[in-house]
Amino acid sequence: MNSSSAAISILFWISIVFLGVMLWKLVSANKNPGEVVSYSDFLQLIDNKEILTAQVYLEGNSANINVLLRGSQKYVQTTISASELPEITARLREAGTNIEISEVKTADWALILLNAAPLLLLVGFCLFLMRQMQSNRRRAGLTPTAAVRTGIGYDLHRLEEGRPLIVGGIELPFDKGPMGHSDGDVLAHALCDALLGAAGLGDIGTHFPDTDPQWKGANSMVFLEHAKKLLDQKQFAIEHVDSGVMTEKPKLVPHLPRMREALAKALGVSVEKIHLKAKTNEGVDAIGRGEAIAAHVVATLTPR
């Protein structure tokens, strides 16, 4: 869990606890905790001066009296008519009882709102904080981790003399080039597969089969441009591309900047989102013997 999610969770549970406390107060504010006694027994308690404090709640034509007994520290209660209240309060005062009288309003919404105001302010602050976090995340170009999509692409071509060597959309000076139905751009093909895979759109063979004569000798930048259109239709944005091209010769490092520019242009993204690496195969296998060229690509997409 990241820090913003943790903060939201903490504030949410604080709100829940605060709401519980406020509801408990509202429900229990007029609740009589004492044991109910008869009117005659109540008068006997007064005459015996057993009552320490009395809380009187006025309710229309009646009054509910909660009292705390001196010796046992026990609460008892009784209900009397409003007409009897002056006499009862006088007798309580004569017996040395502390009296507090309050009027109960069963539908006092103003009181409820006043008690709930701190909670409303806290909930409002939580909502404001959540909106601010979401806004900051959008401004920073961040999205939830679960929404990030990643695709992997790989391609390999045999090298034959007399064919142009095209890698990453540019032609390199060399006496060999890739065998393929199109121009054989191994990097562009691997990149296309990575993008399509991340978006769940199949692979390059699905959209540009080598059995279709219209793609004979085609420029592989066309494949990337088409892949970008498909990503746009599904509301995906290219966040980052990382790739490695494996060949013994020629040396690719001097040409990487131009390759990045060509690929970025075809995909309609900034050059900073394209990362290329050149590797050899240390003389091992077909690549190491100069018989083949290969490329690995990882592409990361996020929803728009």
pLDDT digits (tens, 9 = 90+) for 239-268: 999 999 999 999 999 999 999 999 999 999
252 within a domain of the structure (yes/no): yes
Three-state secondary-structure class, residue 294: strand
Looking at the structure, tell me whether residues 50 and 154 fall in a common domain.
no
Residue 151 belongs to a domain with what CATH number? 3.30.1330.50
Q: Do residues 35 and 165 both lie within one domain?
A: no
Assign residue 61 the CATH number of its domain. Answer: 3.30.720.210
Indicate whether 298 and 218 sit together in one domain: yes
Looking at the 3D structure of the chain, how many domains does it have? 2
Q: What is the mean pLDDT of residues 227-231?
A: 95
Kindly state whether residue 247 falls inside one of the protein's structural domains: yes
**Calpha distance 85→57 (Å, rounded):** 11
Res. 10: pLDDT tops 80: no
First to last CA, the chain: 23
For the chain, the residue count is 304
* CB count in 10 Å sphere of residue 285: 12
Query: Does some domain include residue 78?
Result: yes
Domain holding 273, by residue range, is 147-303
Amino acid at 26: L
Q: Per the structure block, which two tokens stand in for 136?
A: 């900051």
Q: Are residues 60 and 190 in the same domain?
A: no
Boundary (domain end) residue, out of 80, 103, 126: 103
Q: Are residues 298 and 155 in the same domain?
A: yes
185 plus 277 within the same structural domain: yes
Nearest C-alpha neighbor of 54 from the set 67, 42, 37, 69? 67
Q: What's the pLDDT score for residue 82?
A: 84
Section 101-118 average pLDDT: 61
192 within some domain: yes
Does 59 share its domain with 204? no
Q: Is residue 122 part of a domain?
A: no
Residues 156 and 298 in one domain: yes
- Report the range out of 27-31, 206-210, 289-293 with the highest average pLDDT: 289-293
- Residue 132 is assigned to a structural domain of this protein: no
Q: Based on the fold, state whether residues 74 and 209 are members of the same structural domain.
A: no
pLDDT one-digit tens code per residue, 141-191 = 554 455 899 999 999 999 999 999 999 999 999 999 998 888 899 999 999
Residue 117 lies in a domain: no
How does DSSP classify residue 34? S
pLDDT band (50, 70, 90) for residue 207? confident
Mark whether 290 and 169 lie in a shared domain. Answer: yes
**Helix residue ranges, H only, the chain:** 3-28, 39-47, 85-94, 109-139, 186-198, 204-207, 220-233, 256-267, 285-288
The reply to whether 3 falls in a domain is no
Confidence at residue 140, expressed as pLDDT on a 0 to 100 scale: 62
C-beta of residue 178 within 8 angstroms of C-beta of residue 293: yes
Whether 299 and 159 share a structural domain = yes
Residue 28 vs residue 222, higher pLDDT:
222
Is the same domain home to 78 and 161?
Answer: no
